[in-house]
Amino acid sequence: MVMKVGDLMPPVPGMGGGAAAGPAAGAKDFASFVKEAATNAVDTMHHGETLSKQGIAGKAELNDVVAAVNDAELTLQTVTTLRDKLVTAYQEILRMPI
């Protein structure tokens, strides 16, 4: 007979029950995740700009230029949407009664 629910399930990393209550080994915290995402977004934008310049100069394939510009456009739209969501969340927090 099962005496505790915990006996039925294996331990889940990062969910307590172990020696460390913090993030699991090798897991990223939120700040490093956001920093990496921002760095990747900037790199994607720079790559699109670089390939656009090379395409204008005739030094890059059209397919590569179009793909890079589409990636940059999608990245810009994603960053803009995230910014809007963050601003909305901040405004909601400001409206909360104290």
In a domain, 8, yes or no: no
In a domain, 63, yes or no: yes
pLDDT score recorded for residue 56 = 95
Residue with tokens 């810009």, as numbered in its chain: 76
Which tokens belong to 40? Answer: 């990747």
Domain span at 31: 27-95
Residue 4 has pLDDT above 90, yes or no: no
In a domain, 10, yes or no: no
Summarised one tens digit per residue, pLDDT across range 23-66 is 666 678 999 999 999 999 999 999 999 999 999 999 999 999 99
What DSSP string describes 5-47?
A: GGGTSPPPTTSSSSS--SSPTTPPPHHHHHHHHHHHHHHHHHH
Mapping DSSP to helix (H, G, I), strand (E, B) and coil, where does residue 48 land? helix
Summarised one tens digit per residue, pLDDT across range 68-95 is 999 999 999 999 999 999 999 999 999 9
In a domain, 80, yes or no: yes
CA 70/CA 63 separation, integer angstroms: 11
In a domain, 16, yes or no: no
For the chain, what is the domain count?
1
